A and B are shown apart, each in its own frame.
Chain A
Amino acid sequence: MSRPSSFALPACVPRAAERLRSNAPCETSNTTPMATQSPVAPPLAPPKSPRPFVAGLRTALTSVFSLVLFGTYLGIGALAHDFGFSVHWIVAATLLVWAGPAQVILVSALGAGAAPFEVAIAVSLSSLRLLPMVVSLLPVIREPGSPAWRLLMPAHFTAVSMWVETMRIAPNMPRALRVAFCNGVGAGFMFSACVASVAGFYLAAKLPSLLTAGLLFLTPIAFLISVTRNAKWLVDRLALALGLVIAPVLVVFDVGLDILWTGILGGTIAYAAHRWREGMA
């Protein structure tokens, strides 16, 4: 990750992290009586305090991504309305799917009457990025010896927005508080997205088409800029550039599974170039 520039609450977050750190000792002392009562109890109980969760909520709601998500989901809510889905359905979709491009594909393809199997493939390919994001996030927040199910919610909350903010802030916190913090960030972003989905659904008829166009443009532009910002190594920059070029070419030549091939081709060429350069050095 590159240094955070003017990106969201530069002053408030270190202070929040510090407050959490100073709270850590009293949390450990709270667990001591429990540990003496039952000799089987693990020495490090998970933190009971809601504070890291609240710090995560605050981080999410004051982040630039809350605005981007709000706008994006305003557009997705309006799209769902236009394709004839119910407001409950689109909120359920936001809670369950929790991935902007996948939801745009889901709504527009299902609404247009595409075959369910094709929709499932398209949704799945658009969300491939979640795999490496989860793989790189979980080792940062995991507490050694804690059960794997504690990571189920952080895995579900993983999205570009949450990944960027958690990877930036969680490494500065005590390890015991990171999962709760991460859940707070995810819940905060999901909350703004749900509010926006409902607002977008009811505003759909009133939104000028130019504004809807602008909202749909938020996802590609915000993704492109945040990926550009995070791509500090040659291999990532090359993969970004190759992906931008390969996908449209495959679409124009009507090659099936274009996103999958874009990933495999672009990623492998970028990786090969990176290995070749390492060999040269």
Chain B
Amino acid sequence: MTMLGTELTAYVLLVLVGFLPNEVWRWLGLVVSHGLDEDSEIVVWVRAVATAVLAGVIAKLTLFPPGALLLVPLPLRLVAVVAGVIGFFLIRRSVFAGVVVGETVLMGGTLILAR
């Protein structure tokens, strides 16, 4: 990525393949939200679709992770996710507490397994 041509290609790709396919949902949301009632049936369905999509992204990032997360064995990744959710429910429904519990199990577990 040192040559100007390659560098420029990287920016063109960023706009065409990163920015536009992502931003289109925000622009579409701007248009669709105009005069839409938050409690309408269509919004309930769209929200359910979005929640399922987000859940799918979460599952894929956990089960088929990119890069360094592959270092952590799959069973440990799953245990860490479950521990984080349990931590959230047990510790005053705090997102922060849940994240800390999940991360501690993930990284602590990896260290213990590596010994």
Taking Cβ atoms with an 8 Å cutoff, the residues of A that contact B are 2, 5-7, 64, 67-68, 79, 82, 84-86, 89, 92-93, 96-99, 101-106, 108, 110, 116, 119-121, 123-139, 148, 151-152, 155-156, 158, 160, 209-214, 216-229, 231, 235-236, 238-248, 251, 258-260, 262-268, 270-271, 274
Whether A132 touches B47, Cβ cut-off 8 Å, given contacts A86-B10, A103-B18, A221-B98, is yes
B contact face: mostly helix, strand, loop, or mixed: helix
Interface size on B, residues (CB 8 A): 76
Q: Is the CB of B53 within 8 A of A129?
A: yes
Most buried by A among B7, B51, B62, B71: B51
Whether A102 touches B25, Cβ cut-off 8 Å, given contacts A6-B92, A248-B59, A267-B49, is no
Instruction: Enumerate B20-72 residues with CB–CB distance to A below 8 Å.
Output: 20-30, 32-34, 36, 38, 43-69, 71-72
Distance in angstroms between the alpha carbons of A267 and B16 in the assembled complex: 29
Q: Of B28, B57, B64, which is within 8 A of A101 by CB?
A: B57
Taking Cβ atoms with an 8 Å cutoff, the residues of B that contact A are 1, 7, 10-11, 13-30, 32-34, 36, 38, 43-69, 71-72, 77, 80-81, 84-85, 88, 92-99, 102-103, 106-107, 110-111
Q: Which residues of A contact B43 (CB under 8 A)?
A: 132, 135-136
Q: Is the CB of A133 within 8 A of B29?
A: yes
Q: Is the CB of B56 within 8 A of A262?
A: yes
A contact face: mostly helix, strand, loop, or mixed: helix
Can you give 21 contacting A-B residue pairs, CB < 8 Å?
A: A5-B94, A7-B95, A85-B10, A86-B10, A89-B14, A110-B10, A116-B17, A120-B21, A134-B29, A136-B43, A148-B34, A213-B69, A214-B106, A214-B107, A223-B57, A239-B48, A239-B52, A243-B52, A246-B52, A262-B55, A267-B46
